[in-house]
Amino acid sequence: MTLYEKWSEIAEQDRTPQENEAFWKEYFLKEKDNYADILANNRKTLKGTLSELASSFNMDTVTFTGFLDGMNTSLVEELDLESLEETTEISIEIDYEKLYFNMLDAKADWLYNLPEWENILSEEKRKAITKEYRVSKMAVSNRVGRNDPCPCGSGKKYKKCCGK
């Protein structure tokens, strides 16, 4: 069983609601510490074996694989998580703008509100990314309403023109 499969099994394990909450609360605290460290030290690139990196972040290799899964879409080049082993040499580059966007998308306010972001992305840049995120989530309809101007250009309402 690969590290990623082990992580998936642990993450999806059947638990009582209280056990599930406790599990994720503990994980999210570790995750928050990891991101605070990455941002505070501007560690845009992480290099080393998976086990070395996991120990540098005070995590076991399975949990660290889960952490990598959470940030995988925020990397310049995504990892093949299925192939990761403890001795796998990892060299990843984090795209901070994608990371911030993905934290917004995950609704992880404990991550996108970290004070360490101030040294990485300016307040204006964070606001621009937040605006881009909100626009990306807006529902857009190409449907013409019956009381809208007709798209044929006649100047009539759609219901009195092409909508008859």
pLDDT for 140 equals 74
Q: Which residues of the chain have pLDDT under 70?
A: none
CA distances from 139 to 102, 104, 111 (A): 19, 17, 26
Block residue for tokens 């759609």: 158
**Predicted structure pTM score:** 0.81
pLDDT for 95 equals 97
Tell whether the torsion through CA atoms of 101, 40, 24 and 9 is positive or negative: positive
Q: β-strand 89-93 against 45-49: which pairing, if any?
A: antiparallel
* Residue 60 token pair: 């076991």
Tell whether the torsion through CA atoms of 141, 144, 148 and 154 is positive or negative: positive
pLDDT for 142 equals 78
* Residue 85 token pair: 């082993």
Q: For the chain, list the strands marked E by DSSP.
A: 45-49, 89-93
* Residue 117 token pair: 């972001």
